[in-house]
Amino acid sequence: MAEQPEKTLFFERVAILGLGLIGGSLALALKSSGVAQHVVAFDLDQTQLELGLSSGVIDEWCESAADTVLEADLIVLAVPVMAVATVLAEIKPVLQSKSILTDVGSVKGYVLEAVEDVFGQVPENFVAGHPIAGSERHGVAASDEKLFNNHKVIITPLKSTNPEAVSAIETMWQCAGASVVMMDPAHHDQVLAQTSHLPHLLAYALIDTLSAQGDSLEIFEYAAGGLRDFSRIAASDPTMWRDIFRSNSDAVLSILNQYQHELSTLQALIEDGDFDQLSAVFARSKKARDHFSEVLARRETNKT
């Protein structure tokens, strides 16, 4: 199981800005753990808010981001990374000094730059964070209070960040079932480019390539589990992932160049008939994947 917090945490009013899978799941987790007494949300899609209220994910919704954060102890930015600056500019006039702000974005450098652009500097009560959990499903209907169980959350505080705010966000995620890791923002973006952003890009590219071959539907009639498993994440929200690649392009291009070099090497081995070397690459990759399987198995064991 994830490490449990040693101290209790309680927020009277939590504001969720962006009621999708992550925002909705966090709302449920905080309510079920007793961390949040009252959860209020805002989203540009009113149907998501109405569904969130009727299903018990949230307790209240507002018609503007500014109204949502009034009197909030905790404000969670669960909007796409490219929308962070717009939302912050809207809530800035009504923010209270007591409010702790955090986000769930997949790119930390861009988010911190957006925060600094709006406020002139990153407020000491802003704690950047990113839960390493998700699904190809999206929207509040996919909310799951156990989504973060035994998953990591990366927090990227700055030297100027208030230690009490950092502690509160760390404890919040632990109460939601996650394990918390501290990381430098730039290093976070490099790691996520390799472990998340590149795989999504490859999945999108593979499905786009296959769907362009002759009858774009017929090819999938003959696909088995391998294609299903590899391409699952290509069902993720296109708008969200467009914004991620736009905001983390340098780190993505760096690992993409390495991957393209690897593909060129494999192509050359096949063209040259050097299948012994090709087998060596496969064996090396299998060893690394077996290690990854052991990591995944340990996570599953910890869930029981």
pLDDT digits (tens, 9 = 90+) for 10-58: 999 999 999 999 999 999 999 999 999 999 999 999 999 999 999 999 9
User: pTM of the full predicted structure?
Assistant: 0.86
Among the three residues 183, 200, 215, which one is the final residue of a domain in this structure?
A: 183
CA atoms of 156 and 140, how far apart (whole Å): 26
CA atoms of 236 and 3, how far apart (whole Å): 30
CA atoms of 40 and 48, how far apart (whole Å): 13
Same domain, 60 and 168: yes
Residue with tokens 């923002």: 185
The total number of structural domains that make up the chain: 2
Same domain, 83 and 227: no
Question: Does 4 reside within a domain?
Answer: no
Tell how strand 152-155 and strand 129-131 pair up: antiparallel
Residue with tokens 């800035």: 92
Same domain, 31 and 142: yes
Question: Does 232 reside within a domain?
Answer: yes
Same domain, 124 and 17: yes
Same domain, 171 and 216: no
Give the CATH number, domain containing residue 119: 3.40.50.720
Digit-by-digit pLDDT tens for the chain (304 residues) are 455 555 578 999 999 999 999 999 999 999 999 999 999 999 999 999 999 999 999 999 999 999 999 999 999 999 999 999 999 999 999 999 899 999 999 999 999 999 999 999 999 999 999 999 877 677 899 999 999 998 999 999 999 999 999 999 999 999 999 999 999 999 999 999 999 999 999 999 998 888 876 666 677 777 778 888 888 888 888 888 899 999 999 999 999 999 999 999 999 999 999 999 999 999 999 999 999 888 878 766 665 5
Question: Does 79 reside within a domain?
Answer: yes
Q: Which domain holds residue 119?
A: 11-183
Same domain, 166 and 118: yes
- 208 class by beta-carbon count within 10 Å (0-12 exposed, 13-18 middle, 19+ buried): exposed
Same domain, 202 and 109: no
Among the three residues 121, 155, 183, which one is the final residue of a domain in this structure?
A: 183
